[in-house]
Amino acid sequence: ALKRYEDAITDWTLVVSAQPEGEDHYRARALAYLELGRTKEAFADYDKAIEIKANNPDSYIGRARIYQRMAMREAALREFDRAAAADPEYPDTYFAKAQAAESWGDAELAIQNYALVVRYKGDVWYAQRAMKRLGAQFSDFEARDAAQPKDPR
């Protein structure tokens, strides 16, 4: 299986050489680096993808997943926040953050983010099932959200 990732790195390196402005190519190679435990190279590729296209949340999500694997919760959360800032309605950001929160044992954060997946993507069975497993329904989240004081600005 490792050979497959090494081959992917070789292939994506050729693509990057031919099309150096393709930020998605750097992200693809970063995933292969990450599977081989080569976090320094993965970070470098995500950084390059961000340099090319800073408003694509997938690069920040990738960086957050690296930090998650390194058990660096606060750094991961910062990257998830950057992903959300790049596109506040991108459901994949919230799904990845919810999965990370579950891995940290933070049910409340997971529920909040699964609810955002449902809000921005619609009736998503896997997010609703995860919320139910964690003891919440989307309607619970909506009611709590509605009860929060609103910023007067």
Tell me the pLDDT tens digit for each residue of 17-69. Answer: 999 999 999 999 999 999 999 999 999 999 999 999 999 999 999 999 999 99
pLDDT, the chain, mean:
88
Q: What is the pLDDT of residue 47?
A: 97
Q: What is the mean pLDDT of residues 86-111?
A: 94
Q: Are 42 and 12 in contact (CB under 8 A)?
A: no
pLDDT score of 153: 40
Q: Tokens 């402005």 belong to which residue? A: 21
Q: Per-residue DSSP letters for 125-150? A: HHHHHHHHHTT--HHHHHHHHHHSPP
Separation of alpha carbons 8 and 79, rounded Å = 25
Looking at residue 41, what is its pLDDT? 98
* Alpha-carbon 143 to chain mean position: 26
- The C-alpha angle 86, 89, 91, rounded to 5 degrees, equals 105
pLDDT at 152 over 50: no
The yes-or-no verdict on residue 138 having pLDDT over 60 is no
Question: Quick one: pLDDT at residue 132?
Answer: 79
Q: How far is CA 23 from the centre of its chain?
A: 16
pLDDT at 141: 56
Both structure tokens of 138: 């989307």
Q: 18 burial class (0-12, 13-18, 19+ CB within 10 angstroms)?
A: exposed
Looking at residues 69-78, what average pLDDT do you find? Answer: 97
- In angstroms, rounded to a whole number, what is the distance separating the alpha carbons of residues 114 and 98? 6
- Report H helices in the chain: 2-18, 23-35, 39-52, 57-69, 73-86, 91-103, 107-121, 125-133, 138-147
Q: Supply the pTM of this predicted model.
A: 0.82
